[in-house]
Amino acid sequence: MKNEYELLDSGNGMKLERFGDEVLERPCAQAVWVPQSPTLWETASARFDRIGGHNWAGRGNLSSAWNVEINGVVMKLSATDFGHLGVFPETRELWAWIRATLKAATVKKGRTLRFLNLFAYSGGATLAAAQAGAECCHLDASKGMVEWARENAALNNLQDAPIRWIVDDVIKFLNREVKRGNQYDAVLLDPPSFGRGKKGELYKIEESLMTTLDLVNQVLTDDPSFVLLTSHTPGFSPIVLSNLLRQYHDGGAVECGEMLLSGKPGVMDLPNGNWARWINK
């Protein structure tokens, strides 16, 4: 499986990553150690920092957009004003797990599975699920990000795949799905620390996550495959996330861990968020 991403080094509050042919230096507060390969940082195409605002150095060296294949999914990247690129590569191992798990569950159940991706961003997980043959629902409150995800679908020859593209507030959407009786076999949710819905609805993870999980539980089929919960919010550790899932699901198994940025052997892994998943075994 082709993978054009790698972590090259980290330290002094920064990370050095390669996305295809581009090497980028960006902030990472948890990288409190000293870089392993100081001279390697001189190869950076561009640098982003938040010292006194949002600042790019060398942004003009980058293409306005370029495509990179990450764990079998082609993604369009672009350097945004806030330092984001259109992908969170620490989630790529979860894409592979989603793809493999849905493929196996499809064979076991003998039918097409329905996958719901909430706070879905640019669609890496949605496209991995579609590659597994799932019928997908991709939801994000940002119209621009949903359009970006649709572009990524086309890059993967999935423009005609059974994917519903939804721009909406997550809680409002889930309430409607409950009333409609729509159900899903697998759900991924990556709630933000703080966000706004389609019409400015406020989402604060400490206040809204329990409601979201309750609604997710209501839209699951009678024999679901999994619920996967991820978070970049400080304090929402793997154990916190797994405890949340255990409150809604009896039986099965709960696994948890850290999302990692990684590179070649010898490069220190860089934790960047956490995950937990309930698996209906």
- Domains of the chain, first to last: 5-77 (2.60.40.1180), 89-279 (3.40.50.150)
Q: Do you know the residue count of the chain?
A: 281
- The per-residue pLDDT for 221 is 97
How far, in Å, CA of 10 to CA of 35, rounded? 5
H runs (alpha helix) in the chain: 92-109, 124-131, 143-155, 170-180, 205-218, 238-246
Reading phi first (left if > 0) and then psi (alpha if -120 to 50, else beta), residue 241 is in alpha
CA dist 71 → 223, 263, 274 (Å): 29, 13, 19
Buried b (16+ CB within 10 A) or exposed e, 151-188: bbbebbebeebebebbbbbbbebbeebeeeeeebbbbb
- Tokens for 52, please give them: 């006194």
Return the closest-CA partner of residue 169 out of 144, 147, 198.
198
Average pLDDT for consecutive 10-residue bins of the chain (281 residues)? 94 98 97 97 96 92 96 97 96 98 96 98 98 98 97 98 97 97 98 72 83 97 97 96 92 96 97 97 81
Predicted TM-score (pTM) of the model is: 0.94
Measured from the Cβ of residue 275, the count of other Cβ atoms closer than 10 Å reads 23
Return the closest-CA partner of residue 133 out of 95, 165, 107.
107
Asked whether 279 and 252 are in contact (CB, 8 A), the reply is yes
Angle formed by the axes of helices 238-246 and 205-218, nearest 10°: 40
Reduced DSSP (H G I as helix, E B as strand, rest coil) percent helix, strand, coil of the chain, to 5: 30, 30, 40
CA dist 194 → 197, 203, 204, 234 (Å): 10, 6, 5, 12
- The per-residue pLDDT for 194 is 65
Specify the residue for token string 């499986």: 1
